[in-house]
Structure 1
Amino acid sequence: MRREVRAILLVLLGTALLRISLFSDSYLRYVRAALRPYLIATGAVLVLLGVASAIATVQALRADPDQAHAAADDHGGDHGHGHHGGPGIAWLLTLPVLAIVLIAPPALGSYTAQRSESTTVKPAGAQPTFPPLPAGDPLTMTLGSFDVRAVWDTAAPLRGRRVRLTGFVTAGKGGGWYLTRLTISCCAADALASKVEIRGAAANPAPPAGSWVEVIGTWLPDGKEAEPDTIPLLTAAQVTRIPEPKDPYE
């Protein structure tokens, strides 16, 4: 790859990282908030490397134009050995950058969750214990926490408690719908889905798939033995459309 091409690619990639992490919250579509400092640092380093490479190339051209061109073409030039188009292919590396800057792919949503089962996982240990639930009516919970409590907490502290859950709508079986939220450990590539089946008069008609809603309701025990893929039930008293949150993941 020619040195000037490499310099431009480094600057473009670094600028794209800084744009989504330093000057906006777009990075939350791809990674956890805790990784923001690392994205900013990486973007700054790439820009500095690109600028340094460009300066070195200009200085080399001024010092010895013929030798500089020969060195720049060392890995990307023709030389009659079938390396035609090497620098041209290198420009394809700009496509991911342009996708981030111009298209800004959205966060994972209903399309991903629709094709995954509920990921309610039993906490470590044969007989897990849970801390008491805080006061509040309704009790605001993450959807993942509600799933774990509803499925695995044998003390059933959710029985009779009204809870407030937030997520997006995915279609369920038999015409029903799920309130869904994706959880990531590091980045969108490891996203796992948590789901709650919404029932009751307030749940009809179902909101549009992919729309974000806040649901206030009461846990509905189904009397079935808990399994890793159990999807809890919630009788909704109120369903409210809301804007997509800044951070779409739990």
Structure 2
Amino acid sequence: MNRQAQAVVLLLVGGAVLRSSLTDMYLRYVKQGLRPFLIAAGALLVIAALMTLWYEFRGSKTDDDHGHGHSHEPRVAWLLILPVFALLLVSPPALGSYAASRAGTALQQVSDFPPLPQGDPVQISVLDYASRAVFDEGRSLGDRKVQLRGFVVKGADGAPYLARMILTCCAADARPIKVGLAGQVPADLKPDTWLEVTGRYTEKKVKDEINGETIPYLEVVDLQRVAAPNEQYES
């Protein structure tokens, strides 16, 4: 592929990066804090591509004036840009129940548990609840009502869990955090359904069948189906 074709591919890649980073689409791939870096990277790719095209077309015009313009570029090489068009036209969803059901819950040891924020119920993340329930044995939760948001993932026995994927950097290192649902839970919950669940700490726990880690439960007080949020990952 000649320089002009390479520049076109570079332009399309930069455009795809800018398109995703200037909308909420980038949240399906990386953490929210990386947005400025994505915008900068996409802009640099576009500028580099435009400068390359300008220099190449100017050079081609000079060659033509001297009678040396020629090209032996095979047309099939342009098929290489098809995957780049896919990046622009296709928007894959964020990781959900399929990925979560094939990975073990990913809690890491935590020793510091500050008091819960004000509110009744208090809104906390799935990761925060699971950490307090497992490593603090619910002491910092007490009898407070908490509200969690996540999507449904089914265990090997068909039991529904509330889950969120957590990111260290990007979707490539995403891992699930799972919380079991105890009490009056609808039997028709389907995987990837987003829920807002209100409940209280319960001592019930099970072992994840995939990696043997502990999955805590939440005693459900109220459960509502909700739309998926723009930012579907926790960090």
Report the TM-score when normalising by structure 2: 0.89
Q: Which amino acid aligns with 2:7?
A: A
Residue in 2 aligned with 1:19? Answer: 19
Q: Percent identity?
A: 39
Q: How many residues align?
A: 229
Residue in 1 aligned with 2:27? Answer: 28
- Per mean C-alpha deviation after superposition, the further-off stretch among 129-138 and 141-150 is 129-138
Q: Distance in 1 between matches of 2:151 and 2:206?
A: 26
1:71-150 matches, within 5 Å, as 88-89=76-77, 91-92=79-80, 94-123=81-110, 128-150=111-133
1:195-234 matches, within 5 Å, as 195-201=178-184, 203-222=185-204, 229-234=213-218
Contact 1:120 1:228 in 2 (8 A): no
Residue in 2 aligned with 1:240? Answer: 224
Q: Which amino acid aligns with 2:6?
A: R
Q: Distance in 1 between matches of 2:177 and 2:153?
A: 11
Structure 1 moving runs of 4+ over 3 Å:
66-70, 87-91
Deviation at residue 185 of structure 1 after TM alignment:
1.3
The RMSD of aligned alpha carbons is 2.2
Residue in 1 aligned with 2:37? Answer: 38
Change (3 A) 1:204 1:141: same
Q: What is the DSSP-based 3-state SS (H/G/I as helix, E as strand, rest coil) of the residue aligned with 2:147? A: strand
Residue in 2 aligned with 1:10? Answer: 10
Contact 2:200 2:220 in 1 (8 A): yes
1:152-191 matches, within 5 Å, as 152-154=135-137, 156-191=139-174
Change (3 A) 1:39 1:224: closer
Contact 1:163 1:217 in 2 (8 A): yes
Deviation at residue 129 of structure 1 after TM alignment:
3.3
Contact 2:31 2:169 in 1 (8 A): yes
> Which of the pair is proportionally richer in strand?
2
Larger radius of gyration, structure 1 or 2?
Answer: 1
Residue in 1 aligned with 2:59? Answer: 60
